[in-house]
Amino acid sequence: MNNKVVLAYSGGLDTSYCVKYLTEEKGLDVYAITVNTGGFNDEQLKAIEERARQLGVKEYVVKDVVKEYYEKCIRYLIYGNVLKNNTYPLSVSAERVFQAIAVAEYAKEIGAAYIAHGSTGAGNDQVRFDMVFNIVLPEAGIITPIRDNRLSREEEIDYLKKHGVAIDAQKAAYSINQGIWGTSVGGKETLTSRQTLPESAYPTQLSNENKQEIVLEFERGEIVGLNGEKYIHPTEIISKLNAIASAYAIGRDIHVGDTIIGIKGRVGFEAAAPIIILKAHHLLEKHTLTKQQLFWKDQISGVYGNNLHEGLFYEPLMRDIEAFLTNTQQHVSGKVFIQLKPYHFELIGIESPYDLMQSKFGSYGEMNNAWTGEDVKGFAKIFSNQMMIWNKIKEANN
């Protein structure tokens, strides 16, 4: 009998419960996999492995997908300036797909009969994981102990204590998911519509109160430099910028949105680097793209973000949108100047050879160099023609 179950394991409360439940109650051999999307350093991964082995897993592996995650997803979130409900940079929504793919591929590799994850029955992740598993390895059974048993966090803690597993109840009060594109924070406050997260709930605290100016450099929409230094891969810049900006407690907010399962949900997050990069990139686009490009990018980027949020990464339309977004970035190159302050940042301005504000053509409200006043008179007359005709006909028939 095939007793192998691959568990998407983060080392937190939910997946710790899953290990014990799958071994003690189901009699399965648990093969735990931690998929690193940029949220863990070597020390943290070592601690997660130690905990997994103490809990009794049959085997434990780590899969690093940070660069793949950037190449196949984050770059398009930047190209599209994607913020869900104009607020959330899809920190967890986006990375879940790549975690699920890595888990399913590992299950396929070892010939596991089952795949398990620690999602509850009331959130988005259950759908995202299940959809990917059904696409990549449809023959595997899916086990979800938290969802199946309708457990509260308190019940999970009690179960683990009964099985001799020590749990820090205060730390377990908040669900924290960290990746290169931001960290989500959920707790009792986010289950309400009224309360906000306490300062202590955020993983990174304010530690720098001195103003600082930084420079981000983009080439064809892709971030390539920070403060005059070029890097081998954009993920290095994201990590470096996050270390600088998170010290100012920048990028914190609470996202309110519609879940895949049809209910409203709230989640806190801190995403210093993603928020700064998206806003800086958007400012550069305002200077280098045409009105029509900006308008249609907004519409199409919204579709891309919504689909990704709902786990539709494999929908063929997504590849079509990625091709469109890539094509719009041909002239999105230049530098963006930003000032960092405690809890806040300010976009100062840009420098770009493709800046459409170049003064030789005209200065807004000041000087017209590429057209005459007579040109404008004729343009205004023709541009207003249809509205003039509509008004005349309306007056004649009233």
Grade residue 1 by pLDDT with cuts at 50, 70 and 90. Answer: low
Q: What is the sign of the dihedral through the CA atoms of 237, 128, 17 and 62?
A: negative
Which 3 state secondary structure label does DSSP give 96? helix
Which 3 state secondary structure label does DSSP give 29? strand
pLDDT digits (tens, 9 = 90+) for 310-330: 999 999 999 999 999 999 999
The position carrying tokens 């806190």 is 268
Would you mind telling me the total number of residues written for the chain in this entry?
A: 398
Q: How confident is the prediction for the chain on average, in pLDDT?
A: 95
The three-point CA angle 180-287-220 to 5° equals: 50
Q: Residue 153 and residue 39: Cα distance in Å, rounded?
A: 22
pLDDT digits (tens, 9 = 90+) for 186-238: 999 999 999 999 999 999 999 999 999 999 999 999 999 999 999 999 999 99
Q: Residue 130 and residue 137: Cα distance in Å, rounded?
A: 10
Q: Which two tokens stand for residue 376?
A: 């404008």
The position carrying tokens 């919204």 is 302
The three-point CA angle 22-91-43 to 5° equals: 60
In the chain, what are the domain boundaries?
4-178, 186-351, 362-396
Give the rounded percent of residues in the chain with a pLDDT score beyond 70.
Answer: 98
pLDDT digits (tens, 9 = 90+) for 261-276: 999 999 999 999 999 9
Q: Residue 271 and residue 40: Cα distance in Å, rounded?
A: 15
Residue 368 has a pLDDT of 77
Cross-strand partners of 115: 6, 142
Answer yes or no: CATH 3.90.1260.10 is held by domain 186-351: yes
Checking if the pLDDT of 170 tops 90, the result is no
pLDDT digits (tens, 9 = 90+) for 70-126: 999 999 999 999 999 999 999 999 999 999 999 999 999 999 999 999 999 989 999
Q: Determine contact, residues 284/331, Cβ cutoff 8 Å.
A: no
Checking if the pLDDT of 366 tops 80, the result is no
Please name the fold of domain 4-178: Rossmann fold (3.40.50)
Count of CB atoms situated within 10 Å of the CB of 217: 21
Grade residue 363 by pLDDT with cuts at 50, 70 and 90. Answer: low
